Structure 1
Amino acid sequence: MQAVKYFFLTFLLAGLWACKKDKADYLFQELPQQPPLTASTARLMNMGRTATELIINDTPLTSFVQPNIEGYYLDARPTPYFQNGRMGASYTIPQRFIGANGNAHIKIGSMIYGHKELIYPKEFDIHEDVNNPTDFYNVLYGPHGGTTLLGDDSLFAIPRSISPPANPEHFRIRLLNLGSAPDAASLEGDMSLVFADGTKVSAATNNVVSGKYSDYIELPYGTYQFKVMTNDGRLLPAVRVNAEELLSTVNRTTGTMTTGNNPVVDSRLTYAPVRTFQPGGVYTIMVCASMSFSSLDAGSSVASPAGINSYRIIADNKEALNITYGRLQAVNAMPGVSVSVSADNKPLQEGALTFAKATAYKTLVNGTHTIQLTDASGKKLAEQALTIQGSDNYTAWVYPGENGQPVLKLVANNLSGNFYLSSNPKGDDGSNDQYTYSMPFKVRFLNLSTDVPEVTFTEANGTLLNDFLSFRGSCSQHIRRGQVITDQPYIFFSPLTGIKKLGIYASQPGVLPGDWIQDIPQLSGTDFIARPELYAGVIPAYETGVYTVALTGSLHPKNAGEAAASMIIIKHNQ
């Protein structure tokens, strides 16, 4: 399994660093002046056969540069419309190309090595209705069962909304089903939108038939890992966000991610990116067939393409930077005690917050807020001021202090997949050191016990934890009671190999990992699965997301009401 981990990291970092140059060498290229363009309300969604070139009303907008014999573009030839000279997955058609009658003629296609003419050319007309913004989806569509390669596409005119939600703290989202059948993994038919744990989002986004779309619904802004489910309870994979992550090799019959080669190991998880949906945003989750997947068949060492119905997340309006709202939740890490946490005298949840449970998130406006902790009778136990800035995310942890009295600690969370990786810890040489992982499985560790001064979290048999991207593990080591690590506070685990066991050792300064505390039950990867029933009997070994694992309770309970030490798991994304 170590070999798998190092193989995975080698390819990931090869992609991340492929463009790294010596800082002494710079190349300055003056890009063509972008003309002032007014956008129309019509968008071209380019998800059919490969199309890199675009002509509108006989005007070429792309560079028509041929790739090399291996299919790669070694240089960019910018145009006034595309900085790299090629069309991407979506393009808003400039108003200047819309005729007086509201029409425009579109031609798309691709260039290949050795050919001067377009291949896979496709022509069609579009019509703009300024009162009804429309997306023109050109998607792969047709039979793609078994090992069939899908080479047909179809055009769908789908109206979209650009109106923000009624509540400025919310975003709007809908499900669009352009899936076709038969599908290699039998992921076909009616579709429903679900949260990370498989709970259905809304009746409005359930059972959307092929060729149709749901109404938009409103949800509180935040970080979500939306998934799409068939009527028989199976999950579709998403189309990869970053090719370098190597998460698009799948089991052809299920769409679940695989790793290894002879034997191939099925993770039983589908690829599902984590994303922050901004307040005021409008989004479509769109299902259609994609040939971006590959599959290693038994006995083969070469992956072959796999066509599978899958989903993409599409912003229907321009996402604005969130500079207005933050979010707060509370977690009770006091065994046997029920409490209430409020912000500005408004409880984060109705009713008492019991041990090892978290409240839902509450949205707070920029500024300073009073966070108050009370017991079941309403008696104030603790109070703190919290200054919120746009996009902040906090958890108010409640745990017993040294004297047994409740402590309220506010901990800032990072729910993104961002991480730092640099050979220069000063960060002063201008090199890129921040990267993003689209499907994070990351864990922060806290020691909130009453009588274990310092702990180190480990794998089975005391093996030290290491981030699979940076190989760092210090944020899981030498953690003192109540300490909150803020520098690189998370361990990233591979979404392909996950967690098998987590144990606790009593460490000391200079002693690592220390003495194994056998009385504290170990956690297994399946403890990170919120709802095992989601997986219809084929349960994966773990579930990805953003977590905190906290040691709670007492190793040697002495007083009435004290509970034995144990680890609790809190999942922060939905």
Structure 2
Amino acid sequence: MNKTIFSMALVLLCFTSCKKEKLEMKVDNRTVTEQRANSNVRIINLSGFNQVVANGDSLTNFVVQNPRGSDWYKYPGTSYFPKDGRLSKIWTIPQDIFDVSEKADLHFAGRYYTGNGLNMDLDLQVSNSYDQPTDYYLMPTPYMNGQPEVVRVPRGVTTPSKPDSFKIRIVNLSGAIKNPAYGPTGAQESLTGAMSLAYADGTLVDAKTNNISVSAKASEYVEVPYGTYQFKVLMQDGRQVPAKGNELHEYGLLDPPTSTIPESYSRVTNLPYSPIYTYQPGGVYTILIAPQQFDYISNEIGETVWMYQNSFQVITDMNPPVNQTYYRIQGGNAFDSQKISFKVNGQELAQGIAFGKASDYRNLIHGNATIEAIGESGEVLARAEQLFRPNQNYTLWLYPELQGKAKLLVLNNDLSGTQALPVEDDGTYGHTEKHFFGFNRYLNLSLGNPYITFTANNGQAITTAKTNIQPGLPVLEQPYVGSMMLSNPYEIMSYRSQPNVVPGIWAKDIPVLPSADFIANPDLYLKAGRKLPAHEAGIYTVALIGRSGDGVPAVEKARMIIVKHNK
């Protein structure tokens, strides 16, 4: 009996052990599984090199695929480049590449299926320093003049002095383009010389980032409150330097004479590509200006030819921590013609906001808060309690409810650039992220307009996010309507609708809103001798404010306003 019990115990133990082993199985999905410490040296590969040898040891696969073959995209990974075994555009060199004297001998190569005509080689010795992080820029010298093959630029990695801010600078490595293009619309323009960093409306960011010449190379870092920005780079004459986008094929196209996105081989949108990003607190960023490869449309059937042009891109010098502290907030006056002030927990948020205007943003610490709207005579017009969460963007709208009494509406603005897609129930590929977009949210904050439907030209409906909007009741599910960035000029119209009648009757007393009103500063284009685009990229709220009816003062009559939430 004892032997039987012992045997059964052994069998039970075996089954238990097997079951436990199965439950503890884990899959490591990381691209890089080896533990390698990074050095303070980065390679910024602007030349198209795809292979690298370090100290005589090949780190990449040196595999060349036929671009017309069925497996053109399949490249075997290596220990240092496990994704596809090829040198990337930005490579932080691992510490184990350096010898005891903190030096490494690198050989960069470009190997292409087309053969020796495009093959390139470059030898470079790099040095690692614990005191001074450094970037080595590999320049596309076959296509440009004015820069050596390698440019060494120190990099900053110290955090901002203000915890709710980020640091940013520009590095100007532009140069004259060899063999400039000549397209159907004219000769390629020259974008060389000193350049400045600006906000979306052309306002210069800081004197320290103005007129940075090629000889100076890099500006100082400046601190900017965290938030969502569309930075632009301006020439001394006000022309905008383009960036290169890969969201759509069109964003990699340039019109040679204007460096804007072309509509066809003979027409342009007058719109330069410049991306919208959220720059988080504690982050450090560089805006790099250097030649990049673009295409231009060469004929009426849409064929393209490549060219190089000076352009900019955003590089993260130091990744920010997760923002678990700060949120951004502003106040908007949709109530009446008096100037409104806002307070959050007794702290002044904004003062003297005119009717139809919104304040600048402030960064505050998350948590429960009492919010107040205060009239010109100092009385509290409306008060509310609200939980504000970190890493969010809010607008406090003061508007009149049905009886005309002031009321506060707190709206969370989505500045992420993402849009939901109608896909599988599990959410696979359930959204798309963009960096060059026009997202509009529509609000009805007016008196005398119980249902409003916003339309495009001649009452043409776009989506339900514009339909039968009631006062103070915003659309919360997929509230943003995307605009085609490469569209022709258009208008936004207001219709008085009903739940079963859409779009309804055109509200002739409410002025039509032209798409040109989405351009923050027309002089940014006109003073540089350029034509206006149909609109500009950004995240907007289009709000109907004011009153409809007899005896309404002109200043308080119903009208549509635009509030832009990125800078």
State whether TM-score is above 0.5: yes
Q: In structure 2, what is the equivalent of residue 10 of structure 1?
A: none
1:239 alignment partner, one of 228, 240, 244: 244
The alignment status of 1:447 with 2:447, answered yes or no, reads no
- The secondary structure found in structure 2 opposite 1:546 is strand
Q: Residue 143 of structure 1: CA displacement?
A: 6.0
Q: Residue 258 of structure 1: CA displacement?
A: 1.1
User: Structure 1: how far apart are the matches of 2:32 and 2:137?
Assistant: 29
Deviations 1:527-565 (A, max 9, x none): 111111111242222111110000111221445687211
Q: In structure 1, what is the equivalent of residue 260 of structure 2?
A: 256
Q: Residue 34 of structure 1: CA displacement?
A: 2.5
Deviations 1:123-151 (A, max 9, x none): 1111122201100111224765xxxxx99
Per the alignment, do residues 97 and 411 of structure 1 end up closer, same or farther by CA in structure 2, a change over 3 Å counting?
Answer: same
The alignment status of 1:163 with 2:158, answered yes or no, reads yes
Aligned partner of 1:134: which letter? Answer: T
Which residues in structure 2 correspond to 1:394-413 (within 5 Å)?
A: 394-413=394-413
Deviations 1:188-216 (A, max 9, x none): 10000000000111110000001411000
Q: In structure 1, what is the equivalent of residue 222 of structure 2?
A: 217
- The secondary structure found in structure 1 opposite 2:259 is coil
Residues 540 and 565, structure 2, Cα contact 8 Å, conserved in 1: yes
Q: What is the CA RMSD across the aligned residues, in angstroms? A: 2.3
1:59 alignment partner, one of 57, 60, 85: 57
The alignment status of 1:198 with 2:202, answered yes or no, reads yes
User: Structure 1: how far apart are the matches of 2:269 and 2:334?
Assistant: 32
Q: Residue 395 of structure 1: CA displacement?
A: 0.5
Which residues in structure 2 correspond to 1:343-362 (within 5 Å)?
A: 343-349=344-350, 351-362=351-362
Aligned partner of 2:459: which letter? Answer: G
* Number of residue pairs matched by the alignment: 526
User: Structure 1: how far apart are the matches of 2:147 and 2:222?
Assistant: 32
User: Structure 2: how far apart are the matches of 1:220 and 1:415?
Assistant: 16
Q: In structure 2, what is the equivalent of residue 550 of structure 1?
A: 543
Q: Residue 78 of structure 1: CA displacement?
A: 2.1
Q: In structure 1, what is the equivalent of residue 513 of structure 2?
A: 523
Q: In structure 2, what is the equivalent of residue 565 of structure 1?
A: 558
- TM-score, scaled relative to structure 2: 0.88
Q: Residue 174 of structure 1: CA displacement?
A: 0.5
- Which structure has the bigger radius of gyration? 2
User: Structure 2: how far apart are the matches of 1:31 and 1:526?
Assistant: 47
Identity of matched residues, %: 34
Q: Residue 70 of structure 1: CA displacement?
A: 3.3
- The secondary structure found in structure 1 opposite 2:251 is coil
The alignment status of 1:479 with 2:469, answered yes or no, reads yes
Which residues in structure 2 correspond to 1:17-32 (within 5 Å)?
A: none
- The secondary structure found in structure 2 opposite 1:439 is coil
Q: Residue 117 of structure 1: CA displacement?
A: 12
Gaps of 5+ in 1: 1-27, 145-149, 466-472
- The secondary structure found in structure 2 opposite 1:348 is strand
- TM-score, scaled relative to structure 1: 0.87
Per the alignment, do residues 203 and 557 of structure 1 end up closer, same or farther by CA in structure 2, a change over 3 Å counting?
Answer: farther
- The secondary structure found in structure 2 opposite 1:213 is coil
Which residues in structure 2 correspond to 1:151-190 (within 5 Å)?
A: 154-182=149-177, 184-190=188-194
Q: In structure 2, what is the equivalent of residue 130 of structure 1?
A: 130
Q: Residue 344 of structure 1: CA displacement?
A: 1.5
Q: In structure 2, what is the equivalent of residue 17 of structure 1?
A: none
Per the alignment, do residues 550 and 191 of structure 1 end up closer, same or farther by CA in structure 2, a change over 3 Å counting?
Answer: same
Which residues in structure 2 correspond to 1:101-500 (within 5 Å)?
A: 101-113=101-113, 119-141=119-141, 154-182=149-177, 184-211=188-215, 212-242=217-247, 244-261=248-265, 264-291=266-293, 293-297=294-298, 299=300, 301-349=302-350, 351-424=351-424, 427-428=425-426, 430-465=427-462, 473-497=463-487, 500=490
Deviations 1:419-452 (A, max 9, x none): 111234xx32x52111111101110000111011
Q: Residue 119 of structure 1: CA displacement?
A: 2.3
Q: In structure 1, what is the equivalent of residue 43 of structure 2?
A: 44
Residues 367 and 389, structure 1, Cα contact 8 Å, conserved in 2: yes
Aligned partner of 1:494: which letter? Answer: M
User: Structure 1: how far apart are the matches of 2:237 and 2:554?
Assistant: 45
- The secondary structure found in structure 2 opposite 1:414 is coil
Q: Residue 335 of structure 1: CA displacement?
A: 3.4
Q: Residue 177 of structure 1: CA displacement?
A: 0.2
Residues 396 and 411, structure 1, Cα contact 8 Å, conserved in 2: yes
- The secondary structure found in structure 1 opposite 2:523 is helix
Gaps of 5+ in 2: 1-26, 181-187
- The secondary structure found in structure 2 opposite 1:534 is helix
Q: Residue 491 of structure 1: CA displacement?
A: 0.7
User: Structure 2: how far apart are the matches of 1:37 and 1:418?
Assistant: 33
- The secondary structure found in structure 1 opposite 2:517 is helix
The alignment status of 1:541 with 2:540, answered yes or no, reads no
- The secondary structure found in structure 1 opposite 2:516 is helix
